A = this chain, B = another copy of it.
Amino acid sequence: MTNSMVVKKFEKIVGKDNVLSEREDCYPYSFDVVEQGQDVRVPDIVVLPENKLQVQEIVRFAAQQNIPIVARGAGTNQVGSCIPSRNGIVMHFSKMKSIIEIDENNLNCTVQPGVIVGDLQKEVESRGLFFPPDPSSLAVSTIGGAIAQSASGSRHFKYGGTRDYVIDLEVVTADGEIIHTSSKTQKNVAGYNLTQLFVGSEGTLGIITEATLKLIPKPDVRRILLAFFDDLKDSARAVEAIIRHRLRPCVIDLLDEKTIETIEDFSHSGIFRSAEACLIIEVDGTEIDVADQIQKINNVCGDYNVSEIKIAQNQEESDKIWFARRQAFSAVTRLNFDVVAEDLVVPPSKLVEMVRKIQEISRKYDINIAIMGHSGDGNLHPHFSLDLRDEEQKHRYQLAELEMLDYAATLGGTITGEHGVGVVKKPHMTLVNDESNLKFMRMIKQVFDPKNIFNPEKIL
């Protein structure tokens, strides 16, 4: 079947306006936020379904014709999960972005995959409810993408990630059935946990067309404390002490010197000052509890040679800090032609070791690396700033990346905490998965997608 016949078929399903097939229209869908010098694969067709029945019809047709389908939200992924590895179609969810229901009596909401995470948060928070997962990209990234990638963010330390809030998924399977993985209740153990198989499966097992998410009551207040340290080691010891003192901030993010400077250069927030490390600590809860925790955290930081503490005095100041923090990636992109935001996890007690290793790798391979991350979870995002068009630099980067991920694995950590595997981390899967695990994963893929039409060549 020729491409134009496929286009005609899709136009019949979703309407002419919802099918793109000109190369220049499809080109933007051959990237995520990091290009990393990969081969560009422009999709043959981009299709924008408006409802689940259209998704079902497209999947049935694609399966019959062996056409690969890559589901895509806002394209903020950093490991190539949402871009085609082969030609085929990209299914873009920008037209399925309804919040179908916010069920205040049963503490859940049901949404289409194209809903923007930040929009959902605003909507539920306006009703006194809370959806905690907060990927840095939340102003543009979609809930479908967050589920597919098992995204989390700064608040994971207290609240967990997207996967902890997914109750039920509606999925179009490879044989074109529409299934629900569970019920809309908070508890359900009637069979294997299909829900959590689809969460984090990066679109390789089925297409999510609807999700029911758990909501919790919104904390009364939030407050941010910034702690600057002249010695990175002190900041890590402060993180450990906060954990050891059984304090429970929602966020304990760490920024190294390079990150602090880069963010401040970019945002001119006037908030960040030069220091070897800065902790962004956010506490939420009741007014009294927050005041109490802030005081205790203040004291703990004092025990570890903090050089300065700033406490946000109001929402505006907090917003300013978050805005600057969430621009970290954009800020680093200004430093060079490319930026690669890495993602690794180590036990929090190994943070100093890991950061020192990254700094050593930075010197050894002569690559600028800005380190930031969610230190309470031991989840670091070293941002490599370089020019990947330069083959020699690219080679150095690859060696540096491997050495870094290998070291994280050696410390009992892992190669990705929230960005996913996609194509970028695929070669490193064996660092943390032995052959049996990979064999099971390949067989699971085979169970759900025997013809390999869903996002082929990703993860495995």
Contact = CB atoms under 8 A, between A and B. Distances in A.
Nearest to A409: B183
Given A184-B347, A415-B190, A106 B378 contact: yes
Given A185-B413, A218-B246, 12 more contacts: A103-B347, A152-B187, A181-B437, A183-B432, A185-B345, A187-B345, A189-B419, A190-B415, A190-B416, A192-B440, A285-B289, A288-B288
Nearest to A350: B106
- The bracket for how many chain A residues form the interface is 35 or more
A292 interface: yes
A459 B187 contact: no
A189 B199 CA distance: 10
A418 B189 CA distance: 6
A421 B149 contact: no
Nearest to A181: B437
B412 A183 contact: yes
A443 B447 CA distance: 6
Interface string A212-233: 0000111000000000000000
Contacts of A203: none
Given A106-B378, A197-B197, A199-B193, A188 B414 contact: yes
Contact of A129 (B246, B289, B425): B246
A191 B439 CA distance: 11
A114 to B, nearest CB: 22
A164 interface: yes
Interface stretch (A64-72, A86-94, A155-163): A155-163
12 contacts: A104-B244, A105-B349, A107-B348, A173-B436, A179-B437, A184-B412, A185-B379, A188-B345, A190-B425, A193-B199, A286-B288, A444-B447
Contacts of A216: 248
A217 B248 contact: yes
A135 interface: no
Nearest to A378: B185
Nearest to A347: B106
A417 B167 CA distance: 13
A164 B163 CA distance: 10
Given A196-B193, A248-B216, A243 B185 contact: no
A456 interface: no
Contacts of A406: none
